[in-house]
Amino acid sequence: AQSVAQPEDQVNVAEGNPLTVKCTYSVSGNPYLFWYVQYPNRGLQFLLKYITGDNLVKGSYGFEAEFNKSQTSFHLKKPSALVSDSALYFCAVTILSGAGSYQLTFGKGTKLSVIP
Amino acid sequence: DAGVIQSPRHEVTEMGQEVTLRCKPISGHNSLFWYRQTMMRGLELLIYFNNNVPIDDSGMPEDRFSAKMPNASFSTLKIQPSEPRDSAVYFCASSLKGEQYFGPGTRLTVT
């Protein structure tokens, strides 16, 4: 079985400071990892993914994430936070299923608040 | 592309009534997922389809819930009869190669 842990329910950061939203995972096999963002009253929006290759992946809106196999982590980062980054962030993991589809397992989400 | 389309965006109904939620996936995507999101339980996968075939419906809460995908461009999630505890935001998502693209959701309120 696969699982995702987002250990922080909420992260507060001052505008302009670097931000990190943590994610650890557990799968049997090679993981495919994703980050999504959800703004109030909206659907989840895809930010970035790790499939294979370079451990540092870059995504939308200046976000990046680093895959660390030994620590089974995939933390989301941004060098300089904006107030508009305030939202709910979800980490997700999957492996290719026998049916050829990708059933994602989502974490519980981390609420990011960027303080002006 | 217009993205994943869901209708209605809001639904208010009385307990015992039938509710049908609709989803149009992104053209060319071969997988479709139905999720439910509440404050208490977070994001839950209800069912997903691959090439219009239901693959895993283990997340469907009970027999009151049913989902269909008659063709590649349309899916429905039906609740009959509805109950107040079904109140939630229901999302549809589609995918082709891993990342899922979510619709705006249907906010269901059952009174």
Q: What are A26's two structure tokens? A: 């557990």
| CB neighbourhood size of A83 (10 A) | 11
- Model pLDDT, residue B1: 65
Say yes or no to pLDDT of B15 above 80.
yes
Shortest Cα–Cα distance, A87 to chain B (Å): 15
**3 state SS of A61:** helix
CB proximity B101 to A under 8 Å: yes
* Residue pLDDT, tens place only, A11-20: 999 999 999 9
Q: Over chain A (116 residues), what is each successive 10-residue block's mean pLDDT? A: 93 98 92 94 93 91 95 97 97 75 87 97
CB proximity B1 to A under 8 Å: no
Nearest CB to A43 within list B45, B95, B103: B103
- Model pLDDT, residue B10: 97
Short-list B23, B22, B24, B56, CA closest to A100: B56
Q: Which residue of A has its CA nearest to B5?
A: A43
Say yes or no to pLDDT of B66 above 80.
yes
Q: For chain B, what percent of residues have pLDDT higher than 90?
A: 86
